[in-house]
Each structure stands twice: as structure tokens, then as C-alpha cells.
Amino acid sequence: MAEEEDDPTFDEEFDDSGNGAEAGHGKRKRLFSKELRCMMYGFGDDQNPYTESVDILEDLVIEFITEMTHKAMSIGRQGRVQVEDIVFLIRKDPRKFARVKDLLTMNEELKRARKAFDEANYGS
């Protein structure tokens, strides 16, 4: 019968998607599970957060990065992602803007300090 022919394909679908009911990116390997767990604890969650919550958060973060990358590619120099584009996109959000500014400033300072340290060593 027609129903019986449909059933095996139906079963196959359910067997393949073993990653639960999350539609979309369920088949990709989890990239940030360990780091996200530590992060959630740091932000106020329990010491052992639920795996499903970590998965949801990972999907959200990957979607966020994807969106930002696409937006950055469409402004400034087309097809490339540059820091200025990211800073421009983030300008309306005070927290993220301040964070990016601090990170980049700190990176510059550390680079300068490392360079000075190496030159001092080179002399002695």
C-alpha cells in the first residue's frame, strides 16, 4: 500500500536527526559547548547548565556572527570584513561598542608592550 511505502522513508528521517527536535542546524557539530558552559555559569546560570539551553545559545551566537558577517560584507569594502565595518554596525549598542573599543585598545597596548619587551631582551 502507499502508506507502507511512505513509512520507511519516514523512519529514516527520524533516525538521522538524532540531535533532538531543534530544526535547522541540528546536524552541525557543536563548536562552543565547553566554552559556553563556563560562560553561562559566569553570567549567572547554574554551575551545570542544561545541555539544551547551551545548544540554543550556541545556535543564537552562530546566527549572530553570521548576520554580522553578512552585514559587514555589504558595507564599506564589499566582500571583505574589516574592523571598521564591525565598529560601524555596533555603534548604536553602547555595551558592545565600548567593549570593542576596549579590546582593540588593549590589544594595541599589549602589542606595543611585547615589542618593547623583546627589544629590551635583544639588547641584553
Partner 1 sequence: MADPARMKPPASTAPEPKPEESEENEVGNKGPTGSEASAESTSQQTVKDDEKSEHAKEATTGEDEEEGTSGLNAPANKKLKVDPEKKKEKKQKVDEDEIQKMQVLVSSFSEEQLNRYEMYRRSAFPKAAIKRLIQSITGTSVSQNVVIAMSGISKVFAGEIVEEALDVCEKWGDTPPLQPKHMREAVRRLKSRDQIPNTKYKRTFFH
Q: For residues 15 and 27, which CB has a smaller minimum distance to partner 1 in the complex?
A: 27
Q: What string marks each residue from 9 to 48 as x (binds partner 1 by CB under 8 A) or -?
A: ----------------------xx--xx-xxxxxxxxx-x
**Nearest distance, CB of residue 85 and partner 1, angstroms:** 9
Q: For residues 10 and 64, which CB has a smaller minimum distance to partner 1 in the complex?
A: 64
Show Cβ contacts of residue 20 under 8 Å, excluding neighbours closer than 6 positions.
Answer: 26, 52, 55
Separation of alpha carbons 89 and 82, rounded Å: 11
Backbone Cα Rg of the chain: 23
Around Cβ 102, how many Cβ atoms within 10 Å?
10
Residue of 19, 75, 82, 91 interacting with partner 1 (CB under 8 A): 82
Residue of 26, 62, 76, 88 interacting with partner 1 (CB under 8 A): 62
Separation of alpha carbons 86 and 68, rounded Å: 7
